[in-house]
A and B are shown apart, each in its own frame.
Chain A
Amino acid sequence: MPDPIPVRFTVNGEAVRVSVEARKTLADALREDLGLTGTHVGCEHGVCGACTVLVDGTAVRACLLFAVQLDGAEITTIEGLSPADGSLSPVQEAFRNCHGLQCGFCTPGFVVTVTALLAENPAPTDDELRHGLAGNLCRCTGYQGIVAAAREAAGPVATEPARA
């Protein structure tokens, strides 16, 4: 078995070191080596979106990155989205208000995804929101609650297009 490789990166603002086998995904390193079990592992091959995290500010599948690739990167997980006082982030609050979850397995991925979507496009149309959510699978809600939560977090649809 190849020797473990030391890797340094920051997670939710905190500098961490792990020593991992090259084949260990970022998702597994977060969960097993750092105890950050909010990042869920569903399909393990890039389809379900449950493991979505932010790497250097952009949303990615943590199951499609090997932890060794992340040396020097800045990672934000679901644990890093809520304010330090323990309250909910606006996106989390919207998911609660709109029943955007049932079993909760897919929820971390959806919350990170919506957070990234709104950072990039603060005034999305319904169509843009639905396309943005298309990379995350939910097996219980039927999606209407999730779409409603994303809409609430984004605010009402602009009456005029944001861009001409």
Chain B
Amino acid sequence: MKAAAFEYAAPASVDEAVAALAEHADDASVLAGGQSLVPLMALRLAAPAMIVDINRVVGLDTVRRENGHVYVGALVRHAALTTPGSAADDVPLLGLAAPLIGHFQIRNRGTVCGSLTHADAAAEWPLVATTLDAEVELRSRDGGARTVAARDFFAGPFTTARNPDELAVGVRFPVWRSDAGFGLAEFARRSGDFAIAGAACGIEVTDGRVSRCAIGLLGLAGVPLRAHGAEAALTGTAVDEVDAEEVGAGATADLTPPADIHASSRYRRRVGAAMVARAVATALREAGHA
């Protein structure tokens, strides 16, 4: 189908963009990569009266290292994070997640911040942001700038803490120790599909024991989750005593994931447990190698 008619604005600066959003807040959508929004418009599941296309805004396409963070601007495409050699290397989960997103034609256009604000619980960037306690930077004309932590950002399925007049201008991913290990595993029925379930894990090891760990879960609820109980249980454990499958079972035991035509709730939980086990095993194997 064809999208419904809309007014179109292509601001050249963040100030102009947030002004356009402020004027049309109740019925405007931000267009960045458009790889989620435009299909929704084509199917008439979304019919915004106003499109604020931020692709002409200068300065939003940067990936840079900041104090303890890697900053990813609102126009950074997934593909920019699939090739090594940028500041993104300091956050290895970025490079592990990017190649798993859709197909390469999608990765050439879609953006990290767009995926975060779309907030699909089966998408990779919400998972990585949640796992790493990333912070989303929001700007509006009337409210100025504010920063929202990932745990507060994802409010429900396809719902975030972003107000309609706010633009997500960038996201900060914390940098871990250079010898930290990371793993990301997901299971999809076909290459490029949204995964049935997945998990991400970061682990730091000190004196042979897990001294820091984070486990995030994809597709197992309406929002990306953290397995706080499993993280606590893992922290302090000697590396050679970790049973990754046990961690996976523990991380998913209390969940009742959504069911759909591809997977029952029970099956999705079992896949999730297996993905946690893989992500933890990978992170453990990588930990200790700077």
Contact = CB atoms under 8 A, between A and B. Distances in A.
A138 B201 CA distance: 36
Interface residues of A, number: 32
A13 B245 CA distance: 56
A139 B41 CA distance: 25
B1 interface: yes
Contact of B38 (A2, A21, A46, A113): A46
Given A22-B6, A60-B109, A135-B192, A46 B51 contact: no
Given A23-B4, A135-B192, A46 B104 contact: no
Interface bin, chain B: 20 to 34
Q: From DSSP, what is the main secondary structure of chain B's interface residues? A: loop
A5 B105 contact: no
B39 A46 contact: yes
A130 B41 CA distance: 30
Interface string B101-119: 0111110110000000000
Nearest to B7: A2
Contacts, number: 89
B38 A64 contact: yes
A108 interface: no
Given A5-B8, A45-B42, A61 B191 contact: no
Interface string A114-157: 00110000000000001110110000000000000000000000
B43 interface: yes
A128 B7 CA distance: 41
B190 interface: yes
Contacts of B4: 23
A61 to B, nearest CB: 6
Contacts of B34: 64-66, 69
B105 A68 contact: no
Contacts of A100: none
B192 A134 contact: yes
Contact of A135 (B1, B41, B43, B105): B105
Interface of B: 1-8, 10, 31, 34-35, 38-39, 41-43, 51, 53, 55, 79, 102-106, 108-109, 190-192
